Amino acid sequence: MSKKKEIDDRFKKFGTVSFTSVTKVNDFINHLEQGKVMGTRCTNCERVYFPPRADCYYCLSSDVEWFEVEGVGKLITYSKLKYAPVGFENDLPYCIAVLDYGDYKVFGRIASEIPEEEIQLGMEMVTTANKLPNGQLNYVFKKP
Amino acid sequence: MEEYMEKIAIIGVGQSKFVRGYPGSIRELAFEGFKEALEDAQIPVEDIDASIVCSAPEYDKQRSPSGVFAEYLGLTPQPTFYLESLCSSTSMGLRMAYSLIKSGLHDIVAVVGFQKMSEISSAESQERMGRGADIQWESPFGTMMPAYYAMFAKAHMEKYGTTLEDMALVRVKSATYGQINDKALFRKPVAAENFIDPNHFMSGPVSSPLRVGDCCANADGSSSLIVASEEKAKALSKKPVWILGLGAASASVNMSGRDQFTGLAVAQEAARQAYEMARIEPRHIDVAEVHDCFTISEILAYEDLGFAYRGEGKNLVKNKETYKEGVIPVNVDGGLLSKGHPIGATGGSQIRTIVLQLRDEAGEMQVDDPQIGLIHNIGGVGLYGTVTILGRQ
C-alpha cells in the first residue's frame, strides 16, 4: 500500500490570497504566527535577505539563519489602491509601501487604521505581523 | 585598422489595429501584423529562415503559440520558438533576431508579437499582470501594475516636485497624436482640465497618485518585424533601417531589491549599452518611442534616457519639447497611452513607428528628416528593459 506523502504547504497562509504554497522558507509562516517578521542571513557571508531566501547567491550556501525585522524603517514610497485585483476586493482601499531599514528594504502594506493624511514619505514605521479577517497572515507597517 | 562589423537591418514592419475585443483567434490576430510586415518587406514567406513569437503568457488558452503561428503564417518547416519578457517581449525578440543573424545561423528572421487580452475581464487581467511581479512575496498583498508605478510617481513627485498636472500633460500630448494614428485604440482629444473634472472619467482614482487618465488601456493587437543580414537587406530592400545599438537589462523583481524609485535602473543600463554600441549620445536622437504604460513612465524615461537631467523630465513635456516640432519628439504615434497596450505586440509597434519615421513614411505623424531613432521598451515594473537605436545609415 502506498503511503501518501505529506506536503508542507504552510506558505499558502501568506497574504489575502497566496500564489505559492511550498517554499523552503515555510518557517516564515510559523514566525508570523508568533508575531515575528523574519528575514534570513547567510551564516557564511552574513548577507541579509528580506524577503527571506533559502539560498545565498553570493557564496552559493544554503546555510541561512533567521533574523527578526526589528526597529524602525523609513517610508520610501507608497500608493493607495482604489481598485484591486481579483480576490482582494474586500480589502479595499489599502496602501502598499516600501520601508527602508538600511541593510534591507521591506515591501508590504500600511496598516489600514492609519489615515492617508497621516502618511508622509520619510516617516519612521515598524513592521508588524498581522492576522487578516479571513484567517490568513501577512505583515503591515505601523507607526512606532 | 578597425574590423568591419556586419550590419543588421529591419526590412519590414507591420501591426494590426490595436482594439478592444478583437473578433478572431490569436493566430488570426498574428496574421494581421505579419501580413503587413511581409508586404512591407516585399519578400515571399519562404525567404524567412526562422521565426520568434513574442508575448506575455496566460492571457489566452493556447500554450506554445509559436508552433501554431508558424503553421498559420506559412513559416513551417523553419525553426520557430517563443520568447517572453512581459511588455518588452518583441524588442527582446529583435535582440534575439539580431544575434541569430549575426551568428550566421540565419539570414532573415521574423519577430511576431501579439496579445489578446480581451478574453478575460479587466480585473482578471490586472491579477495576471500583477503576477508578472513577485508572486511569492508581493502579490499576496494585492498588487497590480498601476499601484507599482504609482509608487514611482509618488517618490518622483516628492523628490523633484513633479505634479499631477505635469503627468496630465503627458496624456494630453499622447492624445494629440493618438487622434492621427489610425492604428490607435483611443483617438479622442484629451484636455488637462479633464483630470480635474470630477465628472470626467480621466480624473477617476486608480491607485494614488495615478488616475484613470494616467494609465494605458489593455488591448488586443499584433506586430511583426522582418530582420535581415546586411547582404540580404541590401539585395532585397529599398529602405533598410539599420540596427545601430541594442541594450538590455534586468532588475530585482521585488521592490525591496530596488535602490531607486525615481527612475528605472533597467532603462538607464540598457540606454548606456545602446548608446555605447551606437557610439552616440542622447542629443543625437531625432525621434523616440518610450514605454508610457503610465504618464509617469514617460517622464521617468526622459530622465533615464538622458533627454533631461534627473527631476527635469516634466519640463520637456511642459515646454512641448517632446511634441513633433520639439527638440526630441517622443511618442508622436500616441504611445501606449493612446494606442493601447497589447503587451506582447507593444515593442514591435514602437519599433514599427521608428522604422516608418526613419523611412519618412509616418504620414501625418512624420517628424522632420530624422536620421537616428530610439525605442525604450520596459517589461514589468522595470523588471526587464531594452533600448534599441535605429538609423538610416
CB pairs under 8 A between A and B: 118
Angle, alpha carbons B77-B83-B86 (nearest 5°): 150
Chain A residues within an 8 Å CB radius of B152: 77
Cα-to-chain-centroid distance, residue A51: 7
Residue B228 domain flag: yes
Give the dihedral of Cα atoms B328, B331, B334, B338; nearest 10 deg.
-130
Would you call A37 an interface residue with chain B, using a CB distance cutoff of 8 Å?
no
Distances, alpha carbon B346 to alpha carbons B87, B225, B266, in Å: 7, 12, 18
C-alpha cell at B344: 506582447
Residue B143 domain flag: no
pLDDT at B3: 64
Using the CB atoms, write b or e for B83-119: b if 16+ within 10 Å.
Answer: bbbbbbbbbbbbbbbbebbeeeebbbbbbbbbbbbbe
pLDDT at A3: 65
Give me the CATH number covering residue B232.
Answer: 3.40.47.10
If you average pLDDT over residues A36-64, what whole number do you get? Answer: 97
Q: Helices B295-304 and B265-278, interaxial angle, to 10°?
A: 40
pLDDT at B122: 74
Q: Helices B343-358 and B89-102, interaxial angle, to 10°?
A: 60
C-alpha cell at A111: 496598516
Using the beta-carbon criterion (under 8 Å), do B139 and A15 form an inter-chain contact?
Answer: yes
pLDDT at B331: 98
pLDDT at B127: 73
Using DSSP, state whether B124 is helix, strand or coil: helix
Whether the predicted pLDDT of A1 surpasses 60: no
pLDDT at B61: 82
pLDDT at B63: 87
Would you call A81 an interface residue with chain B, using a CB distance cutoff of 8 Å?
yes
- Tens-binned pLDDT, residue by residue, of chain B (393 aa): 556 789 999 999 999 999 999 999 999 999 999 999 999 999 999 999 999 999 998 888 888 999 999 999 999 999 999 999 999 999 999 999 999 999 999 999 999 999 999 877 777 777 777 777 899 999 999 999 999 999 999 999 999 999 999 999 999 999 999 999 999 999 999 999 999 999 999 999 999 999 999 999 999 999 999 999 999 999 999 999 999 999 999 999 999 999 999 999 999 999 999 999 999 999 999 999 999 999 999 999 999 999 999 999 999 999 999 999 999 999 999 999 999 999 999 999 999 999 999 999 999 999 999 999 999 999 999 999 999 999 999
Residue B128 domain flag: no
Residue B98 domain flag: yes
pLDDT at A2: 58
Domain residue spans of chain A: 10-68, 73-142
Residue B90 domain flag: yes
Residue B21 domain flag: yes
**Which residues in chain A (40-59) have CB-CB distances under 8 A to chain B?**
50-51
| Cα–Cα distance measured from residue B116 to residue B120, given in angstroms and rounded to the nearest whole number | 9
Using the beta-carbon criterion (under 8 Å), do B126 and A85 form an inter-chain contact?
Answer: yes
Query: B239-259: per-residue pLDDT in tens?
Result: 999 999 999 999 999 999 999
| Cα–Cα distance measured from residue B354 to residue B162, given in angstroms and rounded to the nearest whole number | 28
Chain B residues within an 8 Å CB radius of A85: 123, 126-127, 130, 139, 142-144
pLDDT at B2: 56
| Whole-prediction pTM | 0.97
Closest CA to B200 of B190, B209, B208, B210: B190
Residue B150 domain flag: no
Residue B177 domain flag: no
Measure CA of the first residue to CA of the last residue in chain A; give whole Å.
Answer: 56
Closest CA to A46 of A31, A65, A73: A65
Are the beta carbons of A25 and A52 closer than 8 angstroms?
Answer: yes
Residue type, B374: L
Q: How many domains does chain B have?
A: 1
- Longest CA–CA span in chain B (Å) reads 67
Catalytic machinery residues of B: 87, 341
Range of the domain at B23: 8-120+218-236
Identify the residue whose cell numbers are 508605478.
B149
Whether the predicted pLDDT of A104 surpasses 60: yes
pLDDT at A61: 96
